[in-house]
Amino acid sequence: MKRRILVAPSILAADFSRLNREIAALEDSGADMVHIDVMDGHFVPNITIGPPVVRDIRRITKLPLDVHLMIENPSMYIEEFAKAGSDIITVHAESGRDIKGLLSRVKSLGVRAGLSLKPKSGIAMIRDYLDDIDMALIMTVEPGFGGQKFMSDMLPKIRELRGLYSGDIEVDGGIDKDSAARVINAGANVLVAGTYVFKAKDMTEAVKSLRAGGLSGRD
């Protein structure tokens, strides 16, 4: 089945001193979603943003907000992020919490639910929840910081997941036009890219080149 390739630039790489203009440029570029990385300094070694920033972003764009919670206790904040305007909330299987309960809570708030895996975690960790999610997210770098190099050894994991799951598979980390072709060929259809899009001379061309990876995929 041919799947539409969606591009979700990560604002982690944006210039926050001019975030309203960066978001406007994203809309003009043809991007499909805004990816928002939320980190708490515990689950991953970095601190980023919280619900107030998501709320402000919601006010200035109609693009879906793809909120990725890389936090130790997502249950404490799911409702806040939902109220702030999230369209998708993704939690990590490694959080050690009641995963089924977390996913159910997200959906009860009228938000799509995603489930993510770090690079060292196997597909077995999310296999029992595939019927409960709207999207699966495979990290293709160690989460915590942008600008890292794509981990090609994640390609077999993407293929394995695609063999089990027919929904959206998102990939996040080191995605550029070359790695985009490889992950699309492996079965991914939602591409998170930060540096490649926000630091591009032409954001529209960067988004187009990511989406075009589906026409020239290679292993």
Q: Is the pLDDT of residue 1 over 70?
A: no
**Per residue in 64-78, pLDDT tens?**
999 999 999 999 999
Q: Is the pLDDT of residue 112 over 50?
A: yes
Q: What is the rounded end-to-end Cα distance, in angstroms, of the chain?
A: 19
76 Cα distance to chain centroid: 20
Q: What is the mean pLDDT of residues 12-32?
A: 96
Q: How many CA atoms does the CB half-sphere of 9 hold within 13 Å?
A: 30
User: What residues contact residue 74 under an 8 Å CB cut-off, 6+ apart?
Assistant: 91, 92, 95, 97, 102
| pTM exceeds 0.75, yes or no | yes
CA distance linking residue 185 with residue 197, whole number of Å: 21
The SS3 assignment for 96 reads coil
Q: Which of 32, 66, 172, 176 is catalytic?
A: 172
**Neighbouring-strand partners of residue 47:** 40
Q: Is the pLDDT of residue 54 over 80?
A: yes
Residue 2: pLDDT band (50, 70, 90) is: confident
Q: Is the pLDDT of residue 10 over 70?
A: yes
Token output for 53? 């920033």
Does residue 37 have an active-site annotation?
Answer: yes
CA distance linking residue 176 with residue 131, whole number of Å: 30
Q: Is the pLDDT of residue 96 over 90?
A: no
Q: Is the pLDDT of residue 216 over 60?
A: no
Q: Are 26 and 63 in contact (CB under 8 A)?
A: yes
**Per residue in 177-205, pLDDT tens?**
999 999 999 999 999 999 999 999 999 99
pLDDT at 97: 76
Q: Is the pLDDT of residue 218 over 70?
A: no
Q: Are 144 and 208 in contact (CB under 8 A)?
A: no
Residue 217: pLDDT band (50, 70, 90) is: very low
Question: 6-215, what's its fold?
Answer: TIM Barrel (3.20.20)
Q: Which of 37, 66, 168, 176 is catalytic?
A: 37
Does residue 172 have an active-site annotation?
Answer: yes
